[in-house]
Each structure stands twice: as C-alpha cells, then as structure tokens.
Amino acid sequence: MRDDEVQAQLRRGLRIATLLLAVLTVDVLGLVNLVRHLGSHDVPAAQFAAFAALTAVLAAEAVLVVRRRPWGAWRGLALAVVLGASALSYLTLPDGKTSTTVDWMFGATGWVIVVVLLDRPFRTTLTFLVAHEVLALANVVLFHEANRGTLARFATGSVTVFGLPLCVAVVAAVLGRIGAEAARATRELEEVRTAEAVARAAHRRRAQRFAELAGTTVPLLEGLADGSLLPSDPAVRRGCAIEAARMRRLFAETDTVENPLLHELRHCADIADRKGVEVELDARGRWPVPPVAVRRDLTDAALTALATADSWARVTVVGDADLVSVSVVADCAEPVVPTPVTADVRVETFAGNGTVWMEAQWQPS
C-alpha cells in the first residue's frame, strides 16, 4: 500500500473517531442533560432548536465521511450554524446556570467545531475554540450575574470543555505534519532510487556499447600501436574515420534532446566536416522517436558514407508516423554496410561513377 493511501486512511480513522466523540457528547450526554433539566429552561424550544442544529451538522459530517468528501465550501455555513446555535442556547439559558449540567451546550460546541475543522490548520481550530469560549464568557458577564462562584465554575469547566477538543486538534495537526513529512521523504527516496536505476541502466547500456565497439576499434588501435597498420594507408584512415564517427554517435546517444535521430546524425556529420567534406543535412516531416537499436541501424549507412566521403555528402531524413527513411548520397567508394540488427530496418545500396546512394528505412510497428 502506498504512503499516501496509508495517510488518507489514518486521517479518515481520526475523523471517524472525532465524530464518534462528538456524537457521544452532543447526542447522548447533551440530550440527557437537556431532557433531565428541561424544566429549568425558560424557553425549551430554543434549546431543542440549538440541539437540532448541532445534530444536523454532525449528520452532515457522517454523510461526508461515508462519501469520503471534505466540507469544502459548506464549511463556513456549518461553522455559522454551530456558533449561531451556541448563541441561541446561551441567550435563553437561565440565570446562574452557566457551565453547569443545565448548560449542555457548553461542553458540546467545542467538539462540533473540531469535527468541522479537523482537516484545517491548527490555528484555525484554535481560533474558533477561543471564539466559543469568548461567546460563553460574554454571556456570563453581560447577561447574567457574574460573581466569583460563577467565574470559578466557568474556569474549571473550561479545562475539559476547551482542553479536550484542543488536544484532539493538536493530535490531528501533528499527525498531518508527520504524514506530510513521511510522504515528502518517500517521494525523495523514490526520486533517488529512480535516478540510481536510470544511471545504472545508462551505464549498463554504455558498457555494452563500448564492448560492441571494442570488436572493431581495439584491433585498429592495436595495429596502429604495434606498427602493423600504417596511418598513411587509405583503408586504415577510412577505418579510423568510421570508428571515430561511431564513437561520436555513442556519446550523442546519452544526450537528452527532442529529436535523437537528427542529433546523432549531426554528430556523425561532424567527423566528415572536420575532414573538409561539404555536408548537407535535410529533414522533413515528424516521426516517433526510434529506439536506440533502431537509430543505430538507421545511422550506420549514413555514418559509413560520411566517414569515407571525399568531398561532399548529402543526408536526407524523411518520416511520418508510418515510415522513417534516412538516405545519403556521397562521393565515396562503395562501403560495407553492417547488416541491420532490428528486423524492422531495411537497407538498400547503389553505387556507380564514384557516387554511392544508401537508404535505411524503418517502419514503426
């Protein structure tokens, strides 16, 4: 299971647990206190309206949990309903009953606020919890007789009424931060592993390609080193030019470019250009990026002609989604073109009057 899925399940579990605590506080303990002390209320209908409002918010949260949806744009309305129900209950509360068992709203509102703001930043939850405390305190000071006993009862009651929901909000914030850090660390680890895998694969392909070149390049270098091959020999010079072009192509294969085929052909043409050969490269159309093995087969013919051309060469690349063609015309002796490794590549060669024409075609499957 992925880390983001684990994190989502953890948040959902905390959301369900908080909802159950809120239902227990509001719809069980709150209702029991409301019914038990119903005779103490001057306006029972107002208290039941406030109770219904909080219950409706919790019911909406239950629906959202089942559907795995956040509050979204409805969050502001839900908070307004909670604070409005709290104000309605406090305004119709009998004198001297603040923060007693008659004041069932005092212990219920904080849990509903936490339910609505559980996935929001901690400072937002703290702000609304403080707003509820200020609302309850204003009710004591402005509309009821505020004596030492009432204020002491309010302060001691706030320890649990304010503290317990605040602890749940702290836990939610900490778990969210830990989950975010864990997800970030996992992404970084995956990026490192991916980069290492790409580097290993590139090194493996490069080592394989060097091994392939060793079959033709090393004997040439050994012959030049021990004197059995002479640099003045035209055949040796052509062989050196071909191997140099192949190595330039090998280096170009690791570059990240939009059109690798043209990029590698330009590197092959650079060898001819350094010898003073006039090279013309023309490309027409758009084609899919061929695999590395296909690009090697497509460029081998042009590479050989470019490396052995005497004074001029023209390379033409034409392609679309169904066919890619690389053709070259040069004034060189008819070269020996390697047999294509991939079955989808076909090579044709014609020579006459000191000019060679070669074409390699690839049909994407």
User: What confidence tier does 62 reach under pLDDT thresholds 50, 70, 90?
Assistant: very high
User: What confidence tier does 44 reach under pLDDT thresholds 50, 70, 90?
Assistant: confident
- What are the beta bridge partners of residue 282? 316
User: What confidence tier does 350 reach under pLDDT thresholds 50, 70, 90?
Assistant: confident
The model's pLDDT over 230-283, given as tens digits with 9 standing for 90+, comes to 888 888 887 888 888 888 888 788 788 889 999 999 988 888 888 888 999 999
Whether 226 shows a pLDDT value over 70: the answer reads yes
Mean pLDDT for the stretch of residues 215-242: 83
Please tell me the distance from the alpha carbon of residue 247 to that of residue 23, in angstroms, as a whole number.
74
Closest to 360 measured CA to CA, from 295, 310, 270, 282:
295
- Position 254 scores a pLDDT of 76
Please tell me the distance from the alpha carbon of residue 33 to that of residue 291, in angstroms, as a whole number.
76
Rounded to 10 degrees, the C-alpha dihedral 285/287/291/296 comes to: -20
User: What confidence tier does 131 reach under pLDDT thresholds 50, 70, 90?
Assistant: confident
Whether 99 shows a pLDDT value over 80: the answer reads no
Cβ atoms of 65 and 12 closer than 8 Å: yes
CA–chain centroid gap for 231, Å, is 56
- What are the beta bridge partners of residue 351? 356
160 or 321, which is more confident?
A: 321
**Pairing of the two strands 345-352 and 355-362:** antiparallel
301 or 139, which is more confident?
A: 301
Whether 362 shows a pLDDT value over 80: the answer reads yes
User: What confidence tier does 335 reach under pLDDT thresholds 50, 70, 90?
Assistant: low
- Position 73 scores a pLDDT of 86
pTM of model > 0.75: no
Domain at 230-362: CATH architecture: 2-Layer Sandwich (3.30)
Closest to 300 measured CA to CA, from 337, 250, 328:
337
Give the tokens for residue 74.
């409805």
Radius of gyration of the chain (CA): 40
pLDDT above 70 coverage of the chain, percent = 90
- Position 152 scores a pLDDT of 67
The model's pLDDT over 177-215, given as tens digits with 9 standing for 90+, comes to 877 787 788 788 888 998 888 888 878 877 777 777 777
Mean pLDDT for the stretch of residues 99-124: 83
Neighbouring C-beta atoms of residue 232, cutoff 10 Å: 7
Per DSSP, the residues of 264-312 read HHHHHHHHHHHTT-EEEEEEEE--PPPPHHHHHHHHHHHHHHHHH-SSE
- Position 60 scores a pLDDT of 93
Residue 338, Cβ density class (10 Å: 0-12 exposed, 13-18 middle, ≥19 buried):
middle
| CATH 3.30.565.10 residue ranges for the chain | 230-362
Q: Which one-letter DSSP state was computed for residue 196? A: H
User: What confidence tier does 327 reach under pLDDT thresholds 50, 70, 90?
Assistant: very high
195-228 burial, b if ≥16 CB within 10 A, otherwise e? eeeeeeeeeeeeeebeeeeeeebeeeeeeeeeee
Please tell me the distance from the alpha carbon of residue 308 to that of residue 312, in angstroms, as a whole number.
10
Give the tokens for residue 313.
């060469």
Phi, psi (deg, nearest 5) at residue 317: -120, 120
Comparing 61-65, 68-72, 85-89, 215-219, which segment has the lowest mean pLDDT?
215-219
Half-sphere exposure of 264 (CA within 13 A, CB side): 30
User: What confidence tier does 146 reach under pLDDT thresholds 50, 70, 90?
Assistant: low
Neighbouring C-beta atoms of residue 42, cutoff 10 Å: 10
- Position 243 scores a pLDDT of 82
Whether 6 shows a pLDDT value over 70: the answer reads no
Average pLDDT, the chain: 83
User: What confidence tier does 77 reach under pLDDT thresholds 50, 70, 90?
Assistant: very high
Cβ atoms of 285 and 233 closer than 8 Å: no
- Position 96 scores a pLDDT of 62
Whether 87 shows a pLDDT value over 90: the answer reads no
CA–chain centroid gap for 286, Å, is 30
Expressed in angstroms, the distance from the first to the final Cα of the chain is 36
